Amino acid sequence: MKQISVVGVGYVGLVTAACFSDLGNRVIALDVDEQRVSNLRKGVMPIYEPGLEELVERNVAAGRLTFTTSYEEALKGSEFVFICVGTPSGVEGEADLKYVEAAARTIAKTMTAPLIVINKSTVPVGTGDWVAEIIHEARPKPMDFWVVSCPEFLREGAAISDFMNPHRTVLGSTSREAADKVAQLHLPLRSPIVITDLRTAEMIKYASNAFLATKISFINEIADVCESLGADVKEVAAGMGFDARIGKYFLDAGLGYGGSCFPKDVKALAYMAEDMGLEPQILNAVMRVNGVRRMMIVDKVRDLMGGISGKTVGILGLAFKPNTDDMRDAPSIDIAKALIEGGATVRAFDPVAMEVAKGEMPKVEMMPDAYAVAKDADALIIVTEWNEFKHLDLERIRDSMREAVLLDGRNIYQPEQIKDLGFRYRGVGRGYNGSADSHIKTEVKVQPNAV
């Protein structure tokens, strides 16, 4: 059993603390927000993440996981401290490192024994060296420490599974011994471990997220071409995905990416490139393509109804993705704002994000379920692909609406079935949106081996 401190109990920090404690370590999770720590001690989670509440409760009850606001308490006896604080975007897209700096300085002033400091937050390339300088200068007296970069690759909605079953663990340090000790913490996960230098590890995180964002923007641009030419982007993506060089993931056309990672990380990487005198042409294109996706669906509503002024439009799904209540850079915010500015009345439902969403969209009426959203509405927009929306009673939805107009921003429905129900329906990049008169479902047939 190792003793680990985690600074910051936001999304990454709380998942990291809970999972490491579940692996048998003693973990002390620290946050300067007294209310958040008080709530966690009572079992109240600051975020929604499937399985997290149960994981925290189990390890608190076992005595492996505790919460504190005291650096002295957190660091006493700890061999490792993970920095998991926020790094929001600055004015020009640069990462704001004020919380990282505050954590590093306080760690330096508080540490009483040699310590391995691990950057888990997503930080610009070079931050590991900078953190080492801060700790070196802020120590009251000489004391050994080592800085290791261990970027997180957690998907909201699947964070616990991603932590416990990672594709890889990336570690970077100027000390191989320190990196090996952090690797030992991750050995129970039985995943590949990549050990490199600090700056390379930091770049791996940015490059990974930027590439995934690029796939999303690419398929969205292809969706627009498909829509113009009468092809179906879902089947195009399926056909592409069988190629192992391409892969099937992150090829879902729709409203673009949002959340706390992709927008921030692509901007930050582009900023770093420009700061070095480079021109990040692909990254800038990725952001441009993503930036127009949200208004695309508003334009579709306007075109189908001949305008939106005086209309009632329902939004199904508010969080930026399913299985989370995260509203950071959620497409629903921009869509609702544009509809309201166009003179529409907007109502919405989300299974878990409505309390968070109220502060982001005070002019939107929150409804108890999808059927209440649909009642007397002129149009519905699917914004977040929650599973429960895939199994709605669509005949009931249709009959309760003033106009049966359905905009499928996530392509969760089969166009033919919805049109047969009497809806005026539009998805994203589906061939029927163009001039094609028919649509044949693509089939995949595997031929038996020849004898």
Look at residues 257, 339, 330 and name the one whose alpha carbon lies nearest to residue 290. 257
CA distance 346 to 364: 5
Catalytic annotation, pick one of 19, 84, 150, 261: 261
User: What does the DSSP assignment read for 49-90?
Assistant: -TTHHHHHHHHHHTTSEEEES-HHHHHTT-SEEEE-----B-
261 catalytic per annotation: yes
CA distance 358 to 312: 18
Q: Strands, DSSP E only, in 272-404?
A: 312-316, 345-349, 365-366, 379-382
Q: How far is CA 388 from CA 75, 351, 370, 382, 448, in A?
A: 44, 9, 9, 12, 37
Tell the burial category of 76 from Cβ atoms under 10 Å away from its Cβ (0-12, 13-18, 19+).
middle
Residue found by looking up tokens 């592409």 in the block: 240
CB 20 within 8 A of CB 12: no
CA distance 6 to 84: 7
Partner residues linked to 4 by β-bridges: 27, 80
CB 64 within 8 A of CB 25: yes
Which residues are part of the catalytic machinery?
261
